Amino acid sequence: MKILVCVKQVPDTEEIKVDPVTGSLIREGVPAILNPLDACALEAAVQFKETYGGNVTVISMGPPQAEQALRQCISVGADDAVLITDRAFKDADTLATSYALSMTAKQLAGFDVIFCGKHTLDGETGQVGPQIAEHLNYNQVTSAMDVKLDSGSLLVLRELEEGRQTVAASLPCVITVTKTNYTPRYPSMKSKMAANRKEIKILSASQIEGLDMDRIGMSGSRTKVTKSFVPQAGQAGMIICEETAEQSGRKLAKLLVDAKII
């Protein structure tokens, strides 16, 4: 099995701030982490490899510091890592991001399964995985909480809002993973040291065969973020709980009259 896992480095959302003047996210100086669901996607891929054999490659499109996230992936079971990084990818929306990732996957060739997180902490669109499947003409199964191989096809348990569903899908296939069942493992000191020594393949836009420069970065993006803002915190609510329902009703009515609502 040749397995690819797409991972994104995201700002630690506890610390994210919006520039009040420009309305854009302040990314400078904000600690970056591996997107948590991508760590689960990697765990799913590594368990899949351990059960059925194969090789796991991780890929990220991002700035040069995304290399840290890729080394973290190697320390917990990925075999190879590829970083696609170039100023030409800047300001990509999900369509441009998924196109660049798909073209690189085509060049690396022959992936049977591509694992993605269900969504990221920052963009949170959940579009990149399904779009990769469309670009590559792969089958796709979203919200996977368990992935098995059965007679050459995938059997995927999906987590739905109100239940579970098992679907069968033939290879090649893109799977987007939810947290359930796939708790990321911890690296050992030895695996961390080995990951630090591992060579990461770095590709610029011009090194991706057949990449159409009009379909990447801002020129390849069909959506524009027109405004980002932190909503004002609402007023704290009030719970009216008098001794009797009648007393509560009277108190509520008085509050509404005083506030000139009724």
Binders in 228-247 for ligand FAD, by CB under 6 A: none
Question: What is the Cβ-side half-sphere exposure of residue 123, based on CA atoms within 13 angstroms?
Answer: 22
Q: How many residues bind ligand FAD (CB under 6 A)?
A: 34
- 52, containing H or E segment: helix 36-52
Asked if residue 72 binds ligand FAD (CB under 6 A), the reply is no
Asked if residue 184 binds ligand FAD (CB under 6 A), the reply is no
Query: Which of 29, 28, 30, 48 is CA-nearest to residue 40?
Result: 48
Any idea which residue has 């797409």 for tokens?
A: 6
Strand partners, 58: 5, 81
Site string for ligand FAD, 155-174 (x = CB under 6 A): --------------------
Closer residue to ligand FAD in complex, CB, 224/227: 224
Asked if residue 62 binds ligand FAD (CB under 6 A), the reply is yes
DSSP state of 214: G
Binders in 89-148 for ligand FAD, by CB under 6 A: 90-94, 97, 101, 116-117, 119-120, 122-129
Give phi and psi for 252, each to the nearest 5: -60, -45
- What is the rounded distance in angstroms from the CA atom of residue 222 to the CA atom of residue 215? 10
For residues 220 and 91, is the Cβ–Cβ distance under 8 A? no
Q: Could you tell me which stretch among 36-44, 69-77, 136-144, 189-197 binds ligand FAD (CB under 6 A)?
A: 36-44
Closer residue to ligand FAD in complex, CB, 36/54: 36
Give phi and psi for 154, each to the nearest 5: -90, 140
In the complex, minimum distance from the CB of residue 13 to ligand FAD, in angstroms, rounded to a whole number:
12
Chain residues that interact with ligand FAD, rule: CB under 6 A = 6-8, 35, 37-38, 41, 59-62, 90-94, 97, 101, 116-117, 119-120, 122-129, 221, 223-225
